[in-house]
Chain A
Amino acid sequence: MNYELIGISVLWLFLYGYIIIASIDFGAGFFAFYARLTKQDHVINKLISRYLSPVWEITNVFFVFFYIGIIGFFPETSYYYGSAMLVPGSLAVILLAIRGSFYAFENYGSKNNMVYLFLYGATGVLIPASLSVALTLSEGGFILKQGETASLDYWALLSSPLSWSIVGLAIVSVLFISAAFLAFYASRAEDHAALKLMRTYALFWSTPTIVIALTAFIFLGQHNERHFQNMMDLWWLLALSVAFFMIAMWLLYRGGRYGMAFICIMLQFFSAFFAYGIGQYPYILDPYITIQSSVTSSSMGFALVVAFIGGMCLLVPSLILVFRLFLFDADYVKGNK
């Protein structure tokens, strides 16, 4: 196996991981704000802050890890995406900065501050929206190249139905994933009021998720025929995704096995996300960058893989420790510790 394949597989896996845990986090922000607006904050906000306080930094590191990994394995990406993403990327950075720092501030500040909750909710929706632009760009047709300079064609981006449907999909999936996870977390904490509310939210956001996913898929077909066809060839992965969605819906609707429901949702996104990624192969940025054309030297590839394995040997045990202490320690979850 070549370094470009190892690299892109690991990175795609990490991006998937980021999407799941960041969605939980971003969506929680929105729900905390929304619950406040509808005067239901007393039901869920304690649960949300109990889960999020220990893990927000880890979420952020996942993102940086993906970013450093992709410019490490495929340095050319930083030139094209860097030039084109200057504005949306910087906005995402500013929003991430506001959100990240306010987590820590909130721990010691007033928890019910409306401005804080608003920022928390708004960034939760706007960050995925601005980051999803990178996925749109990868489909090609949005980056202008004149001589040595690459720049973003804002008009093409803003007038494209594809880009808006991807933004929509990003937001809706965030809310769906997050609601499903928080329902599971509430069920573990045996917090029935919160569970009831989160289950309703999860059911509410499920249909829009599948509808917008389908819409985005159709617009993708109009925009990038090659990618669309490749994904159609992977029909079984897409079918698997829909099947997992159905199972998750049934479990959520019936109630009870919320952990299993959340795992099904993770698998639903896993299969769809990999169908999307494999369909895009070999391009990272259509038509400028393929993974073969942009891969780093083999010595760097080797060094990165070694560093990655070494790093994982350190991190996996530490993460297990975190999960045992906070996520799966029933006493902690229930708030007894």
Chain B
Amino acid sequence: MGIDTVLWSKLVTGMTLGFHAIFATLGVGIPLMISLAEFIGIRKKDLHYILMAKRWSRGFVISVAVGVVTGTAISLQLSLVWPNFMKLAGNVIALPLFMEVFAFFFEAIFLGIYLYTWERFKNPMMHWLLTIPVVIGAGMSAVFITTVNGFMNQPGGFTFEGGQFTAVDPVQAMLSTATFSKVFHVLSSAYLTGAALLAGVAAFAILRKGVSAYHKKALKLMMAVVLLFSLVNTLAGDVSAKFLAEHQPEKLAAAEWHFETEGGADLIFLGWLNAEHEIIGALHLPKFLSFLAFGDFNAEVTGLNEFPIDEQPSLVVHYFFDLMATIGFLFLGISFLYFLFVFWKKRNELNKWILRMIALGAPLAFLGVELGWFYAELGRQPWIIRGYMRVEEAATTSPSVRILFFFFLLLYIVLGTVSVLVLRRIFNNNPAEVEMETWTQRASDKSTLKGEHT
């Protein structure tokens, strides 16, 4: 056993999770957008929205495929790379893992039906109904998996005896104090990211090829969702911070570089640390940390120095946290601005600068999700199960993990590249406007054909 093996284990898992997070987020977020678009299309009898649902679901399949295979990879890596973790925690977290598989199975079945039955129902609402199990299944997968992460942060629902978890209550373990805020934040950010991506794509298309009815409608619909979920997501972030302040203060303190316990604590934005751990060049928002943590400008916030050195998370999470929060607020700003323009000065919402910001928002949203997850994971360390098992105790002892890191790296490079190529092929060779035209053409051919028969 060596530090080396532990480091490579962390790297291989971090890489897999980082890659999977992109597709998992899409997997949760996009189905809701597809469902919305198809519903509006059927209600308004507007083929543009139906086409949106069709095109998005086509792209979605690619992300689901990569999400499935990387999800399989991460679930197996739990045992392969962290055998001691699973030996200890398997007793407690098996239930949510098990239910996650069911939820995903459910989603996969209905997604399969949805994709292959566009023309098979007489009543289009029947086809729309298929999106509901997909949306619910995707959301529940996220809920179940997030409860496992909640357990790692706030282990509960057992007694610890002789190095083992006994008297396990799996349901209570799922409903740890961390669960609510985490699930809330994961879901809201996934819906926000899904909408931000699709809005970004529409904005990008308008910038490159000029305004078209299809992209304009897509942009407006998605920006409405972005506005809604950036509000919800801000609330979720706030709930998460308040949870951390109460139950996992070292994680919040590390993110805020808050070393001494004090009342009326300042919120520190960016900056850096010198050799004596003094903060330089940061923006101080007076008493805002206390407000963020407890909703009271004078509340006392626990500092990092209350914890033994070897139980403190890495201080780099400060940057992750700050950037994540900044991105969250940016979305609030952009979507607000967009609708301000929509309502105040007609047509100006397609202003070049707004479109550019929205297009840039798509990658930023993913960056935000990644930063959030890296904060969540690194902020918990050195623990893998907070208070019970440290990361280095959990890792495999096999040195092969180093070489496997490179195999997986290669795999993700290939998967990432090919999915980008395939997505380009799907959409670039077949622009929405062209598809709309051939589609309506075909539909009218069909109806004239029918007319001749009768």
A81 near B79 (CB under 8 angstroms)?
yes
Let me know if B305 is at the binding interface, CB within 8 A.
Answer: no
Let me know if A229 is at the binding interface, CB within 8 A.
Answer: no
For residue B231, which residues in chain A have a CB less than 8 angstroms away from its CB?
none
Return the CB mask of B119-158 against A: 1 if under 8 Å, else 0: 0100000000000010000000000000000000000000
For residue A53, which residues in chain B have a CB less than 8 angstroms away from its CB?
116
Chain A nearest CB: distance from B100 CB in Å? 8
For residue B76, which residues in chain A have a CB less than 8 angstroms away from its CB?
67, 89-90, 93
Contact partner of A94 (CB less than 8 A), chosen from B84, B110, B411, is B411
Return the CB mask of A90-123 against B: 1 if under 8 Å, else 0: 1101101110111111011100000000000000
Contact partner of A54 (CB less than 8 A), chosen from B58, B73, B99, B116, is B116
Chain A nearest CB: distance from B359 CB in Å? 24
Contact partner of A325 (CB less than 8 A), chosen from B64, B90, B108, B113, is B113
B79 near A71 (CB under 8 angstroms)?
yes
Q: Which of B44-52, B237-245, B401-409 contacts A (4 or more CB under 8 A)?
A: B401-409
Complex Cα–Cα for A296 and B90 (A): 8
Number of interface residues of A (CB under 8 A): 66
| B106 to A, closest residue via Cβ | A314
B408 near A94 (CB under 8 angstroms)?
yes
A322 near B73 (CB under 8 angstroms)?
no
A69 near B116 (CB under 8 angstroms)?
no
Let me know if B261 is at the binding interface, CB within 8 A.
Answer: no
| B115 to A, closest residue via Cβ | A54
Chain B nearest CB: distance from A218 CB in Å? 32
Complex Cα–Cα for A65 and B106 (A): 12
For residue B167, which residues in chain A have a CB less than 8 angstroms away from its CB?
297, 299
Let me know if B65 is at the binding interface, CB within 8 A.
Answer: yes
For residue A296, which residues in chain B have a CB less than 8 angstroms away from its CB?
90-91, 94, 168
Q: Which of B178-186, B318-326, B417-425 contacts A (4 or more CB under 8 A)?
A: B417-425
Assess A63 versus B102: contact at CB under 8 Å? Given A108-B58, A300-B95: no
Q: Kindly identify, within residues 295 to 337 of chain A, every residue whose CB is under 8 Å from any CB belonging to chain B.
A: 296-297, 299-300, 303-304, 307-308, 310-311, 314-315, 318-319, 321-322, 325-326, 337
Let me know if A83 is at the binding interface, CB within 8 A.
Answer: yes
Let me know if A87 is at the binding interface, CB within 8 A.
Answer: yes
Chain A nearest CB: distance from B385 CB in Å? 14
Complex Cα–Cα for A63 and B106 (A): 15
Let me know if B396 is at the binding interface, CB within 8 A.
Answer: yes
Q: Kindly identify, within residues 245 to 271 of chain B, every residue whose CB is under 8 Å from any CB belonging to chain A.
A: none
| B86 to A, closest residue via Cβ | A78
Return the CB mask of B390-404 against A: 1 if under 8 Å, else 0: 000000111011001
A319 near B86 (CB under 8 angstroms)?
no
| B102 to A, closest residue via Cβ | A311
Complex Cα–Cα for A54 and B58 (A): 14
Let me know if B69 is at the binding interface, CB within 8 A.
Answer: yes
| A302 to B, closest residue via Cβ | B170
Q: Kindly identify, within residues 418 to 436 of chain B, every residue whose CB is under 8 Å from any CB belonging to chain A.
A: 418-419, 422, 425-426
For residue B1, which residues in chain A have a CB less than 8 angstroms away from its CB?
149
Contact partner of B415 (CB less than 8 A), chosen from A97, A103, A150, is A97
For residue B99, which residues in chain A have a CB less than 8 angstroms away from its CB?
307, 311
| A74 to B, closest residue via Cβ | B90
B112 near A68 (CB under 8 angstroms)?
no
Let me know if B98 is at the binding interface, CB within 8 A.
Answer: yes
Let me know if B351 is at the binding interface, CB within 8 A.
Answer: no
For residue A54, which residues in chain B have a CB less than 8 angstroms away from its CB?
112-113, 115-116
For residue B86, which residues in chain A have a CB less than 8 angstroms away from its CB?
71, 75, 78-79, 82
Let me know if B80 is at the binding interface, CB within 8 A.
Answer: yes
B72 near A60 (CB under 8 angstroms)?
yes
| B1 to A, closest residue via Cβ | A149
A86 near B68 (CB under 8 angstroms)?
no
Complex Cα–Cα for A76 and B65 (A): 31
Q: Kindly identify, within residues 220 to 238 of chain B, every residue whose CB is under 8 Å from any CB belonging to chain A.
A: none
A97 near B94 (CB under 8 angstroms)?
no
B61 near A97 (CB under 8 angstroms)?
no
Chain A nearest CB: distance from B237 CB in Å? 31
A86 near B400 (CB under 8 angstroms)?
yes
Let me know if A55 is at the binding interface, CB within 8 A.
Answer: yes
B91 near A103 (CB under 8 angstroms)?
no
Let me know if A72 is at the binding interface, CB within 8 A.
Answer: yes
Top 8 nearest A-B pairs by Cβ distance?
A: A75-B90, A72-B94, A104-B65, A82-B79, A82-B83, A311-B102, A97-B69, A78-B86
| Residues of B bordering A, CB below 8 Å | 1, 58, 61-62, 64-66, 68-73, 75-84, 86-87, 90-92, 94-95, 97-102, 104-106, 108-113, 115-117, 120, 133, 166-171, 396-398, 400-401, 404, 407-408, 411, 414-415, 418-419, 422, 425-426
| Residues of A bordering B, CB below 8 Å | 53-55, 57-58, 60-61, 63-65, 67-69, 71-73, 75-76, 78-83, 85-87, 89-91, 93-94, 96-98, 100-105, 107-109, 149-151, 296-297, 299-300, 303-304, 307-308, 310-311, 314-315, 318-319, 321-322, 325-326, 337
Given contacts A80-B83, A94-B73, A97-B415, 4 further A-B pairs with CB under 8 A are: A64-B71, A76-B87, A151-B397, A307-B99
Q: What are 15 contact pairs spanning A and B, CB under 8 A?
A: A53-B116, A61-B104, A63-B72, A67-B79, A81-B79, A82-B80, A90-B80, A97-B72, A100-B69, A104-B66, A105-B419, A303-B170, A304-B94, A307-B98, A321-B113
